[in-house]
Chains A and B, each alone.
Chain A
Amino acid sequence: MKKLKFEPGFVKFGMNRAVTALVIIATSSLLLINPASAQTTPANYLFNSYPSQAYPPTAPYESTAPDGIVVEGLYPCEGSYYSISSVEQWTVHWANAGDDTVTEISAYASCQTLSAYESELNQITKYVEANATNPGKYWGGLMIDEEGGYGFSASQLETLNLYIQNIMSSTTGLSWYFTEIEPNSWNTATYNTILESSWADPESYSTSTIGDVNAECTTYGMCTNMVEVDTEFAYPYDDYAYVTGQVNGTAWTNSYWGGAYWANLWRS
């Protein structure tokens, strides 16, 4: 008669194994999804070029060419390179070359009014939608650089982002909008509100800014970020691997662009 499974020693041994296994599984599952754990280093990256510049070079610390391009449109007061027509034409140029492309505009209040930015963004969107061969596949959409020092209030930026959200809702495929926000310009609650339904592209330039990105994740659950890294800062904030390793949560990803994780690198 086999009594083994009823023997006290077996019960103790079996329970030990079961408990150990469950504890390991439970701990692992919490570690895997814990928003307090750092991003995995993104394999793909966007790198910016200004209108009329060539495709961006391999970024510092990276070993491969950029996987996509940000057309750095700044604002029209910066001169003819940054006129609406120049920005929209270069966006279409890269998208039609089969490059994953995003169009960035800096919302700087001293240059033009909020309604002028809305008009500019609407015009660019309509042009790209009409002239790019497959914008839904290659145009990631708009990216708005929003910083406290640029002069627009938080409520104005919320208004702007809702406007963008509205115009991008009617675009095809992937095209949506990113907010490149300087997180420490505002407290966490305000930062969270400004984000609206954008894809977050937080400027992760310092202990302070990264701390605020992580506070947003912990407090409001926006834990997916395409981290913005300035490649011209002094080490270590020029190193995307270091910076993304400080940011909690998950890097941005999208099936239209192959499903890898992405960071966004900046240069002048």
Chain B
Amino acid sequence: MKVLIGRKVTIFSLAAALLLGGVALILEQYLGSSQGSAADQTILSCGRGVPSEKCNPSLDPTYGTPLPSSNPVPNAPAPQSPNTTNCGANFFSQQEITDLQGRFGMLHCFGLLDTNQWVVIGNGESINSTDTPPPASVGGSIIAVETCAPGDAACLGANTQHSFSQFSVFYPPEPSTGNMTFMTMTGTSLIDVTDGTCGSFTFNTTNEEWYATSPSSIAELLSGGTPPSAVLSPPSATGSAATTRNAPNSVSTSCFTG
């Protein structure tokens, strides 16, 4: 019996210690570096080094000030509305997505509804590496475009299975270093990216040219008039070719600052 009770007391003590440990961790989390639930906000830390009034309306004398009765739209540039749609879940087979990500990094995929085009952007970073930062992917950074004939329902379908072999692949000036970030769409066919530290570039899907991004070049491209001078970049490739070769050499003379 003594042995039995002794063992129970030991287990009881261990369980109590676990419970106390849990309570201590809760206190550490709430009072230390992290936030608790909303209900706790008035007494808890707001985040590591964040002033507590940033999470506590009772400390803010302006809280609850009424809104103005009118709210005019800013006197800013005319509205832009990129007309895009996301690729469907079955746009590529799972095997093809895996292959493409392995070669070109994380993929953006979307359709440009005004130009009947599908766009795939690969950021050129290896997705299988745990290095920081990740090395460039073997195929480099790309923008790939598939242009559909008007009325071609299969090609225009977001959930119809497509093949990357139908795409044309365009490389930014510095594709082999990876690190290309998709920033935004401008107008109906202008894709803005940052090409690592090489610079910010705009790719026009209608004439398949790259431009150094600047307020003046964007304005000229949007105006539809004479476009600015295009920058040099590696030669384009078919989708089939791009998936079997390494990233082409960079054209570093196209890099710029500002």
A residues sitting closer than 8 Å to B (CB atoms) are 8, 11-12, 15-16, 18-19, 22-23, 25-27, 29-30, 32-35, 50-54, 60, 72, 74, 76-81, 83, 85-86, 89-90, 92-93, 96-98, 106, 108-112, 133-134, 136-137, 147-151, 165, 169, 172-176, 184-187, 195-197, 199, 205-208, 211-212, 220-224, 230-235, 237-238, 249-250, 252-256, 258-260, 268
Contact = CB atoms under 8 A, between A and B. Distances in A.
9 contacts: A33-B22, A50-B184, A93-B74, A97-B71, A151-B197, A175-B54, A196-B49, A235-B89, A268-B110
Contacts of A222: 33-34, 48
B47 interface: yes
Interface string B102-126: 0000111110000000000000000
B interface, size bucket: 35 or more
Given A78-B184, A221-B34, A268-B82, 13 more contacts: A30-B18, A60-B86, A80-B77, A109-B257, A110-B257, A111-B200, A176-B51, A186-B132, A199-B50, A223-B33, A233-B107, A255-B41, A268-B185
Given A33-B26, A54-B79, A233-B108, A136 B179 contact: no
B65 A186 contact: no
A212 B130 CA distance: 9
Contacts of A53: 79-81
B133 A74 contact: no
Given A86-B77, A149-B179, A173-B53, A29 B86 contact: no
Interface of B: 1, 4-5, 8, 11-12, 15-16, 18-19, 21-23, 25-26, 29, 32-39, 41-42, 47-51, 53-57, 60, 62-68, 71-82, 84, 86-87, 89, 92, 97, 101, 106-110, 127, 129-130, 132-134, 178-186, 192, 194, 196-200, 213-215, 218-219, 256-258
